[in-house]
Structure 1
């Protein structure tokens, strides 16, 4: 049977049975022209570059997974408003075992639930709701460590709960100390870890050997905290954070000598304020990362998340009883919150500049503005039973789970999705700066 002629792009009729090589050439040309614009996305599995058709139990039906638009998006993810999200939450306190008791707000009787039903909407672009299967594919074969205090642990537990819709991890911790946990997702060879370091630098309680505890800490601002600095070299991602422990009384040491303090009330010791210690602690923490010989990972600074005590300090009856978010025009970052935020970001920029000389990557996970607008997301008195004697009776520092802290995983995943393009651009710049040939 004779094949019919077809019109080829070359402008004349030719028969298929006479010109198979030409047909193959046309096909390869078309594929080349179609695929090349999407080349940056090819490092991801195919289902990550199109809308999901998976069951809604895993995905938000309105969620576009990844697109050229989201990869190349230039808008600021961290400037926006909270908008209603009736589909939330994506887990509950009964479906996730990873929730810390003090953040298990529904267990302890919180009467309202609207605080769980918001999502972050950046100005000028969209932030997709966290997709657990997509995240686990992106981090397959990798490892992520949270380095900081209990708010960092709060973030890790939120991530575990969000991922629980796909898989639960197994405990592979190297110590029984709950401050240093490791979890592995076996199907994805992905490891999560948390390293407890509330001040980021070497520190100790001043009266640690005495019969009483005054809460005064000695901080060695120029010394690495080896509990984490000797452990993180192997990780692909670090998320560094710290903040609320710096409000406590502290004595500052440098070169093994007292240089000042914060609210220590000691004779002949200058009060240098908490901002001095906070800045120096981040400087030393970033110096530690930049000094690691074999570290090739990406360092995220998760910026300071403000507390929301009203009508008193944390230990003077202050509380947080609001039940809905602020709008961005109703509150601004100022006073202590602004000082702490600026100190850590300025040190981050310095470390980023130094790190680039070694080809290291730093990223700003800027949660401060979004969380400033969420006075409704804290446990308050719903992190314990009413008769319990706890240190933080009204907790306006940590975040209920489920709750607004889940959005930090939305931010993290979107940043990881954009990372391929950004890392490629920075690598080219690094090679160019070093006058190395680029192909």
Structure 2
């Protein structure tokens, strides 16, 4: 009889153990499911740690639509730098210095719908750019982006860092000796040669473009490892003449092209031909910024004076098109869209010829941000009398460039996400 009782006892103990296991498992599931998904949090922690140390683990740029999203107010982690602390800041972009009191424009973060942009890390970028040359080529909006990039990386440089700032004709560049890194800006508003090529004394009237001439400019940036191009704003002028021959030559022939957008197309064809022949396809990374939205002085639509908030969302900004807004109602905006289609067509043709240029579509996301232009809060050659500027904002309001910190920082954050994958 003793063995039978023993087996009965053993079976009872098994039942008790099984019951306890089920009970513990139930409480464990409840505990781990409380408020957060622990496993997902763990995965996210691992992902964040890896992304800080290796670009290979950052989301794929091809899988992330950087350009479809929304602006989120974030006064905790933004701005990414202080205007007064940036040694490279210029008066045209220093809105706080020139009297702007409402600084909320500095605190908006761009949030793509289905992914996160990596937070800008200047140290990591400089490691990526070690021994490399990054050159921005274009007009003053391109310069706006270049200054933003310098302000973003400056805080990552140690005080003892050897920094050299140089001017060579149209080229300005910042060289970081420890990394042998150069980050420069080359003034060429039409990309091709023109009578507006002086970086300080621009021709505002009687503009002439040599649509088949680019070598004068290109020889200054043909050794760059990364090139970021921009060319829209100066093409809006309908009175540009096309030049056959050399700029300033008495034998040169000036012509007016009836199809105004054809001038831009001819210039881009010259630019794309130069890339196809001269660029090192295994080494050089190429980017072309889409048009920055703006309103010219005198236009009634899209003025930015006294605008202090981003526009309410009417429809999503997307990578496939430009959102209609007050910007889009201006004549310059309608022209800008036609020029954008020429750029897209040119880049598609280049890709079929084996030259890949990444089109950085910042137009749609920037269109929300009329609040972030300098308006009257910047330096002017004519006057810096704030009272006078307020009395006549239509004459002074700059609705073309952008305050810094501000929207160009987001352009560079998107550019940064591409550069990390190089």
**SS in structure 2 at match of 1:81:** strand
Cα deviations by residue, 1:74-109 (Å, 9 ceiling, x for unpaired):
131112111112221121121001111111100000
Residue 365 of structure 1 pairs with residue 360 of structure 2:
yes
Residue 313 of structure 1 pairs with residue 299 of structure 2:
yes
Counterpart-to-counterpart distance in 2, 1:282 and 1:85: 39
Residue 260 of structure 1 pairs with residue 256 of structure 2:
yes
Q: Which residue of 2 aligns with 1:241?
A: 230
Counterpart-to-counterpart distance in 1, 2:172 and 2:394: 23
**SS in structure 2 at match of 1:103:** coil
| Equivalent of residue 170 in structure 1, options 163, 166, 189 | 163
Cα deviations by residue, 1:290-312 (Å, 9 ceiling, x for unpaired):
221657401100111110458x4
Return closer, same or farther for 1:72/1:284 CA change in 2, 3 Å cut-off: closer
Return closer, same or farther for 1:225/1:71 CA change in 2, 3 Å cut-off: same
Q: Which residue of 2 aligns with 1:85?
A: 74
- Give 1:411 shift: 0.4
- Give 1:417 shift: 2.3
**SS in structure 1 at match of 2:241:** strand
Q: Which residue of 1 aligns with 2:177?
A: 186
Return closer, same or farther for 1:307/1:229 CA change in 2, 3 Å cut-off: same
Q: TM-score, normalised to structure 1's length?
A: 0.70
Return closer, same or farther for 1:326/1:337 CA change in 2, 3 Å cut-off: farther
Point out where structure 2 has 5 or more consecutive residues left out of the alignment: 1-46, 246-251, 316-322
Counterpart-to-counterpart distance in 2, 1:250 and 1:188: 42
Residue 50 of structure 1 pairs with residue 50 of structure 2:
yes
Counterpart-to-counterpart distance in 2, 1:415 and 1:80: 18
Counterpart-to-counterpart distance in 1, 2:357 and 2:408: 22
Kept after mapping to 2: 8 A contact 1:377/1:403: yes
Q: TM-score, normalised to structure 2's length?
A: 0.72
Counterpart-to-counterpart distance in 1, 2:162 and 2:114: 36
Q: Which residue of 2 aligns with 1:22?
A: none
Count of equivalent residues: 340
Return closer, same or farther for 1:72/1:221 CA change in 2, 3 Å cut-off: closer
**SS in structure 2 at match of 1:363:** strand
**Paired residues for 1:380-395 under 5 Å:** 380-384=375-379, 385-386=384-385, 393-395=396-398
**Paired residues for 1:287-298 under 5 Å:** 287-292=273-278, 296-298=283-285
- Give 1:169 shift: 6.6
Counterpart-to-counterpart distance in 1, 2:167 and 2:96: 32
Kept after mapping to 1: 8 A contact 2:164/2:176: no
Bigger RCO (CA 8 Å, 6+ sep): 2
Q: Which residue of 2 aligns with 1:408?
A: 411
Counterpart-to-counterpart distance in 2, 1:102 and 1:378: 10
**SS in structure 2 at match of 1:245:** helix
**Paired residues for 1:19-418 under 5 Å:** 50=50, 52=52, 66=55, 68=57, 70-71=59-60, 74-86=63-75, 87-167=77-157, 170-171=163-164, 173=166, 175=168, 177=169, 179-204=170-195, 215-226=205-216, 228-248=217-237, 249-254=239-244, 257-261=253-257, 270=258, 272-273=259-260, 275-292=261-278, 296-308=283-295, 312-313=298-299, 319-329=304-314, 331-332=323-324, 335-354=334-353, 356=354, 360-384=355-379, 385-386=384-385, 393-418=396-421
Larger Rg: 2
Kept after mapping to 1: 8 A contact 2:227/2:285: yes
Return closer, same or farther for 1:93/1:335 CA change in 2, 3 Å cut-off: same
Cα deviations by residue, 1:28-60 (Å, 9 ceiling, x for unpaired):
xxxxxxxxxxxxxxxxxxx996255xxxxxxxx
Point out where structure 1 has 5 or more consecutive residues left out of the alignment: 1-46, 53-63, 262-269, 420-439
Return closer, same or farther for 1:251/1:292 CA change in 2, 3 Å cut-off: same
Return closer, same or farther for 1:91/1:75 CA change in 2, 3 Å cut-off: closer
Kept after mapping to 1: 8 A contact 2:51/2:57: no
Of Structure 1 and Structure 2, which has the larger fraction of its residues in helix? 2
**SS in structure 2 at match of 1:415:** helix
Kept after mapping to 2: 8 A contact 1:224/1:285: yes
**SS in structure 1 at match of 2:378:** coil
Cα deviations by residue, 1:222-243 (Å, 9 ceiling, x for unpaired):
22151x2112221100001011
Q: CA RMSD in A?
A: 3.3
